[in-house]
Amino acid sequence: MSDTNRNFIKLNLSKYLVTLIFFIYYITCVGQEVSLNKIKEFIPKHVSETSVYKGNLNYDEFEDIVLRFKIVNESEEREHFHLLLGQKNGMYKLSSKNDFFTEDNVDGTSFYRVIIKNGYFSIEYTGGGNTSGSYKAITFKYSKEKENWLLHKVVSVLVHRYSDTEPIEDINTQKDFGKITFKDYGIDSNTKVEIDFYLTDRKEIILAIKNNLYEPIIINSFIFGIPSLTLTIKDKNNNIIGMPPPPILPENLKFHEKIIKGRGNLKIPIGAINEIVSKVPEEDIEIRATGYYKTLETYELNKIISEWVIIEKHNFVYKHEKNN
């Protein structure tokens, strides 16, 4: 075969490969555009990345979607995954979401893809360095009983490129981490919403509630009321100091409910320290706050509790002590 013929074949092969790659890319994009047209109401403004993955998430006969997106000006690690269930009319309904994934762009790891299969879906990441490569799959399984997706398995693999050692594989299941719903994955249950005290320059106690969620929460700020915020006071001998009975709940309870926006704070003045400790004969006392909150999407109450705070009567100072 002449050099001319060889070059001609190479040129045609290159054109064929380029055309094939373009065709595959085009089909992928067109398929995604069709999906995006149907689900555009679920995509917020100012997204920097958007991916759509189709499959059966809940064992029914309708096609479902895992929507992944990132938002402009957020940290490069943060990702959003929303589960959209197919309906009889061909449209989609938001069923669950997680806005707390922070796996992407961490220690050389990048988002790879989502795989959906028969009620399971896995979010996969890959990473690579000069001497090693990594793979991680976070798998969730649909529970008909819970009507929710629970964390099923987390698999991590580390491979050394220039070593004869076997890949390091780490597999964790529900036996290791318990029952974690998809929407709660990646959130430290102890820091979803925090409640604490701090002291002002005027020696006044402020009860501070910090919402670490990216969605608003509702909390009742009716101090000493039911069912929300209450204070417990004890002396240095761990005796709970009697509190007056709570007042009768107001008829319009919603008037006392406060909405704390996502990543927001609420500050509630409790009163001057000397007003509290003057009623206590001991040298110091300890106080702790307990409360409940709920999101705008559910009526389920979630409990929050502060650490014990020691208030020294004469010095008007306070310090934290770990929860018992």
- Please tell me the pTM assigned to this model: 0.59
What phi and psi values does residue 81 have, to the nearest 5 degrees? Answer: -125, 120
Q: What is the mean pLDDT of residues 63-75?
A: 91
> Quick one: 223 and 199 in the same domain?
yes
The reply to whether 296 falls in a domain is yes
The reply to whether 252 falls in a domain is yes
What's the one-letter identity of residue 80? H
> Quick one: 177 and 200 in the same domain?
no
Angstrom distance (rounded) from CA 80 to CA 94:
13
244 — pLDDT class (breaks 50, 70, 90): very low
The reply to whether 9 falls in a domain is no
| Residue 108: domain span | 36-181
85 — pLDDT class (breaks 50, 70, 90): very high
Q: Can you give the pLDDT at residue 115? A: 95
> Quick one: 66 and 150 in the same domain?
yes
Q: What is the mean pLDDT of residues 231-244?
A: 72
Alpha helices in 66-186 (DSSP H): 174-177
Q: Which residue, of 150, 181, 212, is where some domain finishes?
A: 181
β pairing state of 79-86 and 64-71: antiparallel
> Quick one: 176 and 202 in the same domain?
no
The reply to whether 20 falls in a domain is no
- Is the separation of the CB atoms in 122 and 135 below 8 Å? no
> Quick one: 199 and 90 in the same domain?
no
> Quick one: 199 and 166 in the same domain?
no
The reply to whether 22 falls in a domain is no
What phi and psi values does residue 108 have, to the nearest 5 degrees? Answer: 80, 5
The reply to whether 285 falls in a domain is yes
| Total number of domains in the chain | 2
The reply to whether 40 falls in a domain is yes
| pLDDT tens digits along 181-223 | 998 888 765 567 888 887 777 767 788 888 877 678 888 655 4
